[in-house]
Every structure is written in C-alpha cells, then in structure tokens.
Structure 1
Amino acid sequence: MPPPPSVPSISPSHSQAPDASAQRRQSPSPQRVLDWDGLRHMRGQACKTTGLPPRRQMAPRDEPNTIHEVGESSHQAELMAQLQQVTQDLQGTHQSLQQCQAIVEDTSMTALEILTSHLTLLDQVKALDTDTRAWRVAVEDRMRMTWGQIVLAAFWRQVALMRERWVRMREVVRDGAVRVIEGVSMLSLEARMVALAIVLATIVIVMACLPYFLR
C-alpha cells in the first residue's frame, strides 16, 4: 500500500499572503500593500534560522498619500488652493498695475501741460525782454543829450517862433501903411499931416509894445 502523499508545509509567509488578499477583497476601501513587507519578514526568519546578526534597518519609505472620495490627494487639493490664491493675487496685482498706469498717464498729461505753460511763459518773457531793450535804448539816447544841447534846441525853437511873429507883424504893418498912404493921397495937405502924425504915433506905440510881444 503506497504511503499517503505528503502535505506541503505552509510557511507563515505563504499563509499570510492569501489572508492579506482576502482581506483586501473584503475591505470596502482599497489600501496599498507595501511590496517590501514580506521581504523584510523573510529576512527576519532567515536570521533566526541561520543565527546571523540582523542587518541594519533601512530608512522607511514614504507612505503614499491617502485617497479621497473625489479621487485627488490632499497634496493636490493644497496645490489647487495655492493656485487659486496665486490667481487672486495676480488679479489684484493686475488691477494695481492698471491703477498705476492710469496714474502715470495723468502725471504725464499734467507734466505736458506744465511744459506747455512754461514754454508760453518763456515766449512772453522773450517778447518783454525785446520791448525792454528797445525802451532802454531810447532812454539811453535821450540821456546822451547834454544840458547844452537841450538849451540850444530850446533857444532855436524860440527864435523860430519870434521869426514867425515878426513876419506876421511886418505884413500887418505894411498892409496898414499901404492903406493909410492910399487914403492920405486923396486928402488935403492938412489932412495928410494929421495922418502922418497918427502913423508915427502908432509906430512909436508898436515899438514900445514890441518887447511885450516878444516874451
């Protein structure tokens, strides 16, 4: 009678694998199983069997982020929040830049108006300077005349006036004498003598009054 078939011995690592897979199927939320857990367990069993000292434990790996119901990690949610904040900051910066641009345009217009006013004022100052120079030249020309020249000009002016008066007086006297002579020629000798006396008296009176008219 042949011996019964030997039952293969199930190592703890093999027995834990189906249990882990069954638990993973039964669990409502899937969890990631680290690949290196079984290898570390096998190394521990080997150390117990061979009696070798345990190896230096390596640094644990970073566990993956937990999965949310919406399908994104918390890190992604944080990145989205930061992105929204940066977007808002950029919008605020854009508005600030627009305000600054408007202020710069207003400042440029004000500076242009000030420059235009300044140029207009310079033109007015130049025109005033030209008028001032002309007035100064005229004043200097008048001041160059000495007192002697002023007195001489006034004297010749008075001489011209006296000459005009003398010419007028001579014409009047000549006309009067002609009329008197014509009237006397028609009179008798006695009347002529009286008329001559009147004419001589008139001449004397005029000569006496001549200095008064010459003043």
Structure 2
Amino acid sequence: MHEVTNGGGVTGWYQSHRPITPPPPSPVLPPAVPILPSPPHSPLVHTSSKRRHDSSPRRVPSWDGLRRMRGQARKTTELPIRRQMAPRDEPQTIHEVGESSHQAELRAQLQQVTQDLQGMRQDIQQQSAMIDDTRSTVLEILTSHLTIIDRVNTLEVDTQAWRTSVEERLHRTWVRRIIATFWQQVELLRAGVVRVRAFLIWLGMASFETKMIVLGVIMAAVAMVFSCLSYFLR
C-alpha cells in the first residue's frame, strides 16, 4: 500500500525516491575572442592605410637567404666552417626600399671601394706634396752648392793672383837683399884690406923687438884657434 503525500500522491513519492543520475558533461567551448572597441577614426581610413602598407614592398633583412644557403652547403659538403669575417669585410648594409640583398651588398662594396679610393687619393696627394717639398729643397741645395763653387773659384783666382804678386815681391826682395849683402861683404873686405895694408906699413916701420912681439901674439892666436877646432871636432 503506497503512502499518499501532500505533494501529489504516488507520483510525488516516486519522484522523491528514484535514483539521481549525474548530468552529461557539457562540451568545452573555445575561449571567446574579446571584442575590442573600434578606434575613434573611421574604418575606411584604417582599411586604406592597411592596403597602402601591404602594397609597399617589405624590407629584405641583410644576409637573409644567401648566407643560410652557404652555411647549409658547407654543412652538407663537409667543408670547414667559414671563419667569421672582420667588421670591415662584412659591412653593415642598409637596404633601401625595393632593394635586394645582393644589390645592397654590391652597393656597400661600392661605397667601401669609393672610400678606399678617396683614402688612396689623399695619400697620393700627400706624397706628391712631400715630393714637391723634397724637390724644392734639393733645388735650393743645388743652387747654394753652385753658388759656393763659384765663390771658391773666384777665391782661387784671387789667391793665385795674390800668390804670384807675393812671389814676385819676395823674389825682388831676396834679390835686393842678396845684392845688398854682397856689397856689404865687399865693403867689409875692402875695409879689411885697408886695415891690413895699414898694419903692414906700420909693422915695416916698427923695430925688430916690436915685430917679434907681434909675431908671437899672432902665433898664440893661431894656436888657440886650432886647439878650439880640435875640441869642437870631437
């Protein structure tokens, strides 16, 4: 006998005593994309600017594909790893709009060659200036050397003329001196002859005793002279 409740009879009792089954799991939905508010400007301007940005060519990064291909080729062919190039050998290329990597590399190399040529030109100009200075210095030295040679030649001519005049004067002086000395000796000899003649006249008029005394004095003087000569000849 079923108990009738206030909730509706048998149906209410059955509903209150039936087993509870868990509800089926709800499917997992993806997270909803948040709706961002539209910018204050009109969508037409945004669309036109986006199209203009898409229509402009993109900048190609430096050393993009060619460098990777070279590295892959070296790995595949078992070649040694390429050494890192110096910053000067691998310039930082700046790509222009619509310019490829190869064109940028060529342009960078051309700029480097232009800079090297300008440096060489400056070096050549400096060297040419140094050569001009050296040439002017050499010309000045040669000019001064030629001037000195001319002065030396002039001095040599003047010295030769002075030597000739001095030799002539000395020759004349020596000749005059020799002549004067000769006449002096002649005068001395003449005076000596006169004195000897006067002495002989006096000796002839003197007495015998006086003559013997004079002869003794003369012989003593001669003996003294010979004794001195023998002493000096030793």
Q: What TM-score range do you get, normalising by the shorter chain?
A: 0.3 to 0.5
Indicate the structure with greater helix content. 1
